[in-house]
Amino acid sequence: MANHFSELAKKSKRNGDIGNIAKEQTGKPSLEIYKLGDDVLRQNSKRISKVDESIRKLSREMLQSMYAAKGIGLAAPQIGINKELLVIDVNFEDSAAEPLILINPEIIDYGTTLNSYEEGCLSIPGVYLNVVRPSTIKLKFRDEMGRPRKMKADGLLARCIQHEMDHLNGILFVDRVTSKDDLSKELMKEGFHEKDVISIN
């Protein structure tokens, strides 16, 4: 298993299916994924009050778009929907592994160990930079049936969850990058603008 986002993005090949959602998706994502510079990415998301079929349908569409875009995570704000909803699948090579659907996720505890790994984002394609985050987390959320759940996550999954949860608060991973030189170089290479980054360091 690859250790960070960039490796996953570069080697991502999907096969099999999860329920009725094929991990191998061809063509463009069915939903538009907004890019750095779009105001919609900077809004705070709202909690989902009722988990119903419309939320489950949106989750399926998000998964399809995530797989088509060769990603391992997608947050509703990235498709212009202001709701606390994430879909994640770090096990793209395992056709039997089910993706995570996290509704109203909330981190209730962080581990004390910090790690730096390279991250990427479907909203900033082609840009890969190191970000420091806690290596373990505990969180609570509701699943696609509205059932309350708790889980612990570490390694890549913990990083992916934190990355996607940042989107719910209008934060992008580039906002957390500490090396300004690397940031400028990577953004310029892919045609993005540093003025669209809101540094939180």
Count of domains observed in the chain: 1
Q: 122-157: per-residue pLDDT in tens?
A: 999 999 999 999 999 999 999 999 999 999 999 999
Given a cut of 70, is residue 11 above it in pLDDT? no
Q: Is residue 198 part of a domain?
A: no
Does 109 fall in a domain? yes
**Does the residue 128 lie in any domain?**
yes
Q: What is the domain extent for residue 145?
A: 5-192
Residue 11 inside a domain? The answer is yes
Assign 138 to helix, strand or coil. Answer: strand
Helices (H), 44-92: 53-68
Active-site residues, by number, are: 164
Residue 79 included in any domain: yes
CATH number at residue 75: 3.90.45.10
Q: Spell out a b/e string for 109-122, using b for 16 or more CB atoms within 10 Å of the CB, else e.
A: ebbeeebebebbbb
Closest CA to 72 of 144, 173, 161: 161
SS3 89: coil
Do the beta carbons of residue 157 and residue 88 sit within 8 Å?
yes
Establish if 201 belongs to a structural domain: no
Q: What is the mean pLDDT of residues 29-46?
A: 95
